[in-house]
Amino acid sequence: MNIVVPIKQVPDLVEELEIDGSGKDLNREWLKNKVNEFDDHALEEAILFKEANGGTVTAIALDSDDIDKALFAAAAKGADKVVKVTGDFGGSVSSHTAAKALADAIQSLGFDIVMTGVQAVDDRDGQIAGLLAGHLGAANVNVVTGVDKDGDGLVIHKEYSGGVVAEFEASTPIVLGIQAAKETPRYVPVAKIRKASRGLTVDEIAASGTADAGSEVSRMFKPEGGEGAEMIGDDAEAAASKIMEILNSKGIK
């Protein structure tokens, strides 16, 4: 089976996020990006599927800063082919725009299964898997924690709340939003990525049709969740003493 895995980069939330001058987007100048962790799981599940059942894995991404490195890493992990969709994808790209561009490219590549991350931290206008499925005219299952072959079809595990899992059987083509791969996503050292990049061709497909979110960001602001914690500092010894005091006062320890 041909598995296509759309991946994308998202801001690394370990870094502090700042709002830009427009008040509608992140200040992207110093933003550190990383591959969406759920996309990593999708790629892992796709590679595990290929290792067990044969087939090919194609990693695909919209052209953006550093995306080549992410695609090289996908190749180093076991993707057979890497593809970049070229077009104007700078800054913040809506899920609807991304899905249309990716769907057209995936359609031209041909596919049996699309596996992508179930969600990303920035998909304001919806998760990509469902949008892709809509454009590709394929069925769509999300929050998937396992995909296996069963005869000519697939067995899919989808997670509900409370850890309950629903098992479905499905035929292809299908688009899956992966929550977690069966195994921890494999790690590849930089040396191996560099090696994989040598002689590797990133295929390019120009984006054809366009679509937009149909909604506009009017403002971005930092949330005020609750009342906020009473902060007890960054010194481990002092904080530990204070925590003991709090627990004692509450009769917990």
Partner 1 sequence: MSNIYVIVEHFKGQVEDITFEMMGKAKELGDVTAVLIGAKDLAGELGAASKVICVDDANLSEFNPEGYCKTVDAVVAAGSPDMVMVGNTSMGMDIAAGLSVSQNMPLVAYATDVSSGSVVSQLYGGKMNVESSVSGPCVVSVLAGSFPADAGKGDGSPAVEDMAAPDLSGLSVKFRKLIEPEGGDVDITSQEILVSAGRGIQNEDNLPMVEELAGKLGGAVSCSRPIVDNKWLGKTRQVGKSGLKVKPKLYLALGISGAPEHIEGMKDAELIIACNTDPNAPIFEYAHYGCTADLFDLIPALNAKM
| 143 lines the binding site for partner 1 (CB under 8 A) | yes
Instruction: For the CB of residue 57, give the shortest distance to partner 1 in the complex, in Å.
Output: 20
Shortest spacing between CB 130 and partner 1, in angstroms: 2
Cis peptide before 173 (omega within 30 of 0): yes
Interacting residues with partner 1 between 7 and 26 (CB under 8 A): 11, 13-14, 16-17, 19, 26
| Buried-state track 13-51, b at ≥16 Cβ within 10 A, e below 16 | eeeeeeeeeeeeeeeeeebebebbebbbbbbbbbbbbbe
Q: Any contact of residue 167 with partner 1 (CB under 8 A)?
A: yes
Amino acid making up residue 152: D
Can residue 241 be called a binding residue for partner 1 (CB under 8 A)?
Answer: yes
Choose the binding region for partner 1 from 54-62, 107-115, 196-204, 219-227 (rule: CB under 8 A).
219-227
Place of tokens 């035929």: 171
**Which position among 51, 88, 108, 166 is part of the footprint of partner 1 (CB under 8 A)?**
166
Closest residue by Cα to residue 84 from 196, 192, 7, 12:
7
Asked if 244 is part of the footprint of partner 1 (rule: CB under 8 A), the reply reads: yes
* 157 near partner 1, rule: CB under 8 A: yes
- Please give the single-letter amino acid code of residue 49: F
For the segment 34-93, give every residue that binds partner 1 (CB under 8 A).
37, 41
